[in-house]
């Protein structure tokens, strides 16, 4: 850290912490010595994660105002925060627009966009008061290029990316750095399974033949690096893909 960075710059709130990249990020930050409040809806999984890592667990739905307000109070009572990491999100469905389902789109917009908004808005006063705050939003390469069957997820991630870019402009004068980590193909426990409503065969096809897709731990390493840098260094945007994915439209499958 630079000499101008407070030594307390190791207090993070991580959403989406019950699985995948969120869980891996909690584990990474705790291994690096951070104080972490792990946030997700599933209290049982959070309790196990807290027991294994020493993180503080708080069960909350980031799309619910009452839950977010309660979380803000909890964090204030447990030492405050310097860093907010918005990981909660996901995709539902792979329908083309002609077959788009309102419920899928509503869910994606709520959790990816409104959840990020509600969390960020709620914690900005504390981050400003700290003087060296960080917000890191996990988006997706779906925010960079649209694809067939992805319009709902594209729309949500494009919007989350827009929120991130506007936030960076608005909060620079408050010395808040805003980081966007943009993963490509990541093989996690639940992402594809949730997208295809629990269809194991459809979920498996997403990764079929792909040599070494990214793991949640890989992305967590990038997140940990980005937020662990001296505060005056801002990684505005980090796109991370497996070598087999040269671009959204070019994915090498073998066999």
Active-site position among 147, 153, 207, 225: 153
The answer to whether 72 and 122 are in contact (CB under 8 A) is yes
DSSP string, 47-86: HHHHHHH-PEEEE--TT-HHHHHHHHHHHHHTT--SEEEE
DSSP 157: H
| CA-closest candidate to residue 9, choices 216, 176, 179 | 176
In three-state secondary structure terms, 205 is helix
Q: What count of Cα atoms within 13 Å lies in the side-chain half-sphere of residue 85?
A: 34
153 is catalytic: yes
Dihedral Cα 11, 16, 19, 22, nearest 10 deg = -40
Q: And the tokens for 86?
A: 């918005």
Residues serving a catalytic function are 153
């Amino acid at each position: 850290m630079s000499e101008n960075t407070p030594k307390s710059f190791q207090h993070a709130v991580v959403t989406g912490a019950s699985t995948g990249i969120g869980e891996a990020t909690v584990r990474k930050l705790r291994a690096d010595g951070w104080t972490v409040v792990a946030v997700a809806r599933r209290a049982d999984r959070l309790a196990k994660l807290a027991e294994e890592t020493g993180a503080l667990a708080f069960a909350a739905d980031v799309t619910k105002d009452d839950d977010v307000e309660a979380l803000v109070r909890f964090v204030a009572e447990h030492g405050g925060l310097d860093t907010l990491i918005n990981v909660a999100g996901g995709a539902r469905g792979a329908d083309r627009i002609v077959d788009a389902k309102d419920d899928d789109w509503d869910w994606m917009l709520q959790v990816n966009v409104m959840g990020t908004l509600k969390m960020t808005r709620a914690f900005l006063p504390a981050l400003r008061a700290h003087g060296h705050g960080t917000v890191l939003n996990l988006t997706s390469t779906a925010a960079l290029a649209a694809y067939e069957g992805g319009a709902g997820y594209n729309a949500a991630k494009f919007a989350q990316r827009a929120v991130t870019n506007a936030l960076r402009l608005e909060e620079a004068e408050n010395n808040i750095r805003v980081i966007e980590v943009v993963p490509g193909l990541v093989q996690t426990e639940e992402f594809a399974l949730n997208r295809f409503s629990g269809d194991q065969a459809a979920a498996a096809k997403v990764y079929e033949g792909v040599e070494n897709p990214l793991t949640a731990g890989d992305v967590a390493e990038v997140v940990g690096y980005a937020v662990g840098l001296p505060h005056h260094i801002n990684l505005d945007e980090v796109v991370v893909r497996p070598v087999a994915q040269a671009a959204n439209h070019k994915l090498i499958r073998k066999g």
